[in-house]
Amino acid sequence: MDNQSNWKDLSDDISEISRKIKSNLTNDENLEDLKHSLKNIKNSMSESINELFQIVETTVNDEEIKKDALNVISSLKNEIAQTVESAKEKVSEMINHEGIGSQEYEEE
């Protein structure tokens, strides 16, 4: 239950950020800056997860512990991916709803 509460809090935080973005997006330059920032966040998180995989692979000798650790990391990666996707969708919905910019949010 505590884990669900944490994810709900994260979702609420994303919603709050989305509202702030909505109130601050006034032109295409801001939209491009937002796209660039989200892409950088995604890349940074991906690199960190991959480094964590490598650390576990190279330093943990017990195969059972290694397998469990990699499963936890994989679950974490999936949760983060879902959260990022949710944030992207919320931002896109707000941008499209308000008609800000002439393009839909797309990954570069």
Rounded Cα distance between 80 and 78, Å, is 5
Is the whole-model pTM more than 0.75?
no
State the pLDDT at residue 27.
60
CA distance 60 to 42: 27
User: pLDDT for 15-52, tens place per residue?
Assistant: 777 777 766 655 666 667 777 787 788 788 888 899 99
User: Domain spans of the chain?
Assistant: 2-95
Q: Give the residue from 103, 104, 94 showing the smallest Cα distance to 17.
A: 94
Rounded CA gap, 68 and 36, in Å?
35
| Mean pLDDT (whole number) for 69-95 | 82
